[in-house]
Chain A
Amino acid sequence: MEWALYRNDGFLMTAETSAGDQDAELMLRFQAGEEGAFEALFARHSKPLVNFAWRFVHNRERAEELAQEILLKVYEGSDRYRPTAKFTTWLYRIATNSCLNEIRRPWFRIVQRPIDAAPPAAAEAAHPELRQDPDPVRNLEREALARALAGALGRLPARQRTAFILNKYQQLSYAEVGEVMQTSEKAVKSMIHRAREALAESLAPVLPEYRRP
């Protein structure tokens, strides 16, 4: 794999590379002093990071604070980045540590936050096919299901929850999740399987209503 440093080149020069390579290249350009390269990384990853943090804390404000903290670690720790692994692996390792530290704080366990309704509502705005369902009851049930899943996810052991979120929501492969969590692919498969079983058990009482034709 070859890496090149660009100081003054524009974005179009790197647009044809794959997404992972482009992130690493942007990071190297930022290391070389190009501030604009970080702005591009920020634009690509800030939203996924806010959503990743939300899956752990279920609170928009705190999710944004966590995402800011993660991005600041990337910004300040750029000199420690080496392109030996995918940029997203490095990024989500930082993000996972920050989120797990947050949910392990005593005050987080004491204060049970209500789950925001924002994600399901946003889903219908983002995906037009979900608005085509003429049955308003079904729409409400769909929202209730998504909310139930978010609640059940919060009751999973931290590592199972992390593996599930990284794979199902952040679209990382099992191998990438393994790299982020510093464990084997086999262990990731096992964690996700156990998470799915536990979540299915939690959701089963809610499902028959939704499955009514």
Chain B
Amino acid sequence: MKCKLAEDNLKALMDGELPAAEAREARRHLASCPACSAHLSPAQWVEVLPGLEGEIEPSPGFARAFYREAHRRREAGRTPWPGMAWARPGRLAGAGALVLVVLLGVFVSRLPWDGHGPSGPAGEPGTEETVAILKDMGLIHHLDLLEDFETIADLGALGQDAN
């Protein structure tokens, strides 16, 4: 790349507007050409320096190591039922833990708290305790009447006869 072209491209390079291939060429030239590099400001140096650095070649065994590990993981994660990828051991363990948590929640919510629950602000009073309180307050005077189903049935029969 000619010095003039590289200098022309410097502003576009600084603004990030140069296509990748042209940017690479401009960086290499500006960083390696003694005449061009003599005029670069520190900020411009920062822009062109990446062109000086080469690239690391992966080790010769890199690809082999990768495929060995990929194969090992695939074998370890393979399900005994083809087509059921969701049934991997990790996912099954997660699903099992979730089911256990839900079951535990249901079990705890169904514990018999009424009448035998813990006292104090967190404990809810049971049915017997509630009825006793309502009686004491005079709100329920004839609770037994509510359970006198025969009388209620008779009242219903009288109504039908009258019709």
A interface, CB within 8 angstroms of B: 42, 46-48, 50-51, 54, 60, 63-64, 67-68, 71-72, 75-76, 79, 118-127, 129-130, 132-133, 138, 142, 145-146, 149-150, 167-169, 171, 173-174, 189, 192, 196-197, 199-201, 203-204, 207, 210-211, 213
Contact = CB atoms under 8 A, between A and B. Distances in A.
B69 A72 contact: yes
B57 interface: yes
Contacts of A213: 34, 38
B56 A60 contact: yes
Nearest to B20: A171
B162 interface: no
A130 B28 contact: yes
B50 interface: yes
B43 interface: yes
Interface of B is mostly: helix
Interface in B47-83: 47, 49-50, 52-59, 62-63, 65-66, 69-70, 73, 77
B28 A167 contact: no
B28 A118 contact: no
A121 B65 CA distance: 26
B113 interface: no
A129 B28 contact: yes
Contact of B16 (A133, A192, A200): A192
A64 B16 contact: no
A207 B43 CA distance: 11
B56 A46 contact: no
Contact of B43 (A63, A142, A167, A196): A196
B54 A121 contact: yes
Nearest to A130: B32
Contacts of A189: 16
A120 B54 contact: yes
B70 A167 contact: no
B34 A203 contact: no
A79 B86 CA distance: 12
B54 to A, nearest CB: 3
A60 B59 CA distance: 9
B53 A120 contact: yes
Interface string B9-51: 0000000100010011000110110100110111101110110
Given A50-B58, A133-B32, A200-B42, 14 more contacts: A42-B66, A46-B62, A46-B63, A46-B66, A119-B55, A120-B53, A123-B52, A129-B32, A138-B34, A149-B46, A149-B53, A189-B16, A196-B43, A196-B47
A213 B39 CA distance: 10
Given A207-B42, A207-B45, A146 B63 contact: no
A174 B14 CA distance: 12
B54 A125 contact: yes
B66 A68 contact: yes
B62 to A, nearest CB: 6
